[in-house]
Amino acid sequence: MVEAVTIQRPRRWDAPFSEDMDQAEVDRILALEPFRDMDRDRFPESLPLAGIIANDTRLVRYQDGDIIMREGDYGNSAFLVVNGQVRVLLPPGLPETMLGRAQTAKKGLMQALAQLWRNRPYAEVRGAYSAEQSGGTASRAEGAHQARIFLQDVPAILDNYRSATLAAADMFGEIAALGRTQRTATVFSDGPSELLEIRWQGLRDIRRRVDDFRRHVDRLYRERSLASHLQATPMFQHLDEATIARIADETLFETYGDFDWQTQYQRHRDESFNRRLAEEPVIVAEGDYPDGLLLVRAGFARVSQMVNNGHRTVRYIGRGAVFGMAEIIQNWHRDNSDAGGGGAEEQDRTTALQATLRGLGYVDILRVPTAVIEEFVLPTLSAQALADYGQLDDARIGFELRHEDKGAGHTKMDSGILEFLVEHRYINGTATMLVDLDRCTRCDECVLACARAHDNNPRFNRHGRRHDHYMVANACMHCMDPVCMIGCPTGAIHRASPGGQVVINDTTCIGCATCAGSCPYDNIRMVEVRDGNGAFIRDTNTNAPIAKATKCDLCLDQPGGPACQRACPHDALKRVDMQDLSDLGRWLNR
């Protein structure tokens, strides 16, 4: 009989944020604002404040001009200024090329044709590399994860761009850290500075237990972002600033699921549907009273309905979506009509929520209380808007997706394909590669076209998970929530402007493989690069081959868009924006 092996259960702080936070440093931080006035008794013995500082924070020292965070980056930590000062660049901010990124110009017709006979004879050929970037920036590198981009001429930057100063005890970056949203500003060190970086887990735990700290973080969000988010929501766009401010004061912040959802997904993706469904946190349940309008600020949520003893996925919603408006309007109409003399039986017929909402991975929710919606929003909407928002059929769409062309009727989608896309998080993609295997003849024209567009180096693999006769290929999906971008030390992997495609700046990529390890879909590969003669390019210190991250760039520089889709002779391949299910439904039923 084989004897069982026993190990200690892994714990959260087995891997601290920094190995350098000794007791002296912890005591020094605890003596600073805002930590010195926190009630230590609010923290349990298993999660003391000193433990959070020791394990969930690190001290980082920056030199003059070092970029601390970049506008458009995704981050999972916030910063507190300990010593020195930093500058926040105000809109419009710095050009892309000064942030370690690259601007892509489309090839002309002759350049595109020349790709057919000028491809490299060897795989992954690159030119010579330089540590210096264009646009007035350069990089400092003491190792893969210590690489930094810095501004070379800080006085000129301050003369040419508007900025604001943050000094000791000021905090920044907390909104993106808690909500996994993009950084809204670029911040750099103005002279030598020392910052306390707090990873989101520690920030979350302190916020939960210290009321003053929670109110401070919430106030920062209300001041910096909440009003803009509300005004971008269609049903609030017509309201004046004073009304928006009153709504913002009553709005509640809620988070569900695991921020590092990709780790949990990779661990459990082969388990049964019911097992994974049970792990998804319920935000509101079918049959509940609609006590607030829910706005999705970040992440995704599953909308499902009870069928027999189980649940059926109706649809999914992402950033910018709302949930519960139809039920709130129905009840508001009923309350107004009952005020004219309806009986008690009539008044008790409250419309409950028609579906369950669950967090998919990680979701950030804003809950606007029903009473606030009834007081400030519903009386200001037109009869047509109330009719549109109040259609309960929207919660029961099921698998009939409304076609934009009303004369074409409904576009039906098989329930299984929707479940498949949700289960494997392909809904995250804005350019998911879907292949109809019944039409695909395995001619590989898609792969050849991709290779021709990328110096004879195809950027995807024509294999992947399947449902029935459909396959999602291993190609970058250019996700709405690109977790691959979190942790890139140089900003090499970034969103291209203005299309938002996720691309890699080959010049500033240092081969640390952070993005490849973070991608939940295994769509980023590390390749050893060569020179024009086919010889591997090696590190001068270690003599090891230099590796670079590579993936689909959606043919950003090609005049006709994705070469793979254009090359398919049988309409078997499509790059799908999963936010447009009507378009997907039309393609599936063509």
Segment 122-138, tens digit of pLDDT = 667 776 544 344 456 66
Residue that is written with structure tokens 């590399």 in the block:
129
If we measure between CA atoms, which residue out of 579, 564, 548 comes closest to residue 473? 564
pLDDT, tens digit (0-9, with 9 covering 90-100), for 7-62? 444 466 777 888 899 999 999 999 999 999 999 999 999 899 999 999 999 999 99
Same domain, 195 and 229: no
Residue that is written with structure tokens 């993936």 in the block:
551
Same domain, 202 and 247: no
Task: Give 196's DSSP letter.
Answer: E
Q: Which residue has the higher pLDDT, 377 or 183?
A: 377
Share of the chain residues as helix, strand and coil, in percent rounded to the nearest 5: 35, 25, 40
Same domain, 21 and 66: yes
- Worst-scoring range by mean pLDDT, 87-91, 147-151, 242-246, 302-306? 147-151
Tell me which amino acid residue 281 is: P
Q: Is the peptide bond before 155 cis (omega within 30 degrees of 0)?
A: no
Question: Which is it for the CA torsion 490, 553, 427, 437, positive or negative?
Answer: negative
We report the CATH number of the domain holding residue 497 as: 3.30.70.20
Count structural domains, the chain. Answer: 3
- Residue 382 resides in a domain: yes
Same domain, 201 and 253: no
We report the CATH number of the domain holding residue 194 as: 2.60.120.10
Cβ pair 356, 284 in contact under 8 A: yes
Which two three-digit tokens encode residue 234? 């269609």
- Residue 144 resides in a domain: no
- Residue 575 resides in a domain: yes
Range of the domain at 491: 426-588
Q: Which residue has the higher pLDDT, 72 or 472?
A: 472
- Residue 480 resides in a domain: yes
Residue that is written with structure tokens 């210190």 in the block:
541
Residues 6+ apart with CB under 8 A from 480: 300, 318, 319, 428, 429, 430, 579
The Cα 236–Cα 427 span in angstroms is: 27
287: left (phi over 0), alpha (psi -120 to 50) or beta: left
- Residue 411 resides in a domain: no
Same domain, 357 and 462: no
Q: Where are the alpha helices (DSSP H) in 4-160?
A: 23-30, 49-56, 109-114, 154-160
Same domain, 485 and 551: yes
- Residue 12 resides in a domain: yes
pTM here is 0.69
If we measure between CA atoms, which residue out of 490, 480, 484, 483 comes closest to residue 70? 490
- Residue 138 resides in a domain: no
Same domain, 356 and 437: no
Q: Which of 188, 209, 230 is the last residue of a domain?
A: 209
Same domain, 237 and 88: no
Cβ pair 131, 141 in contact under 8 A: yes
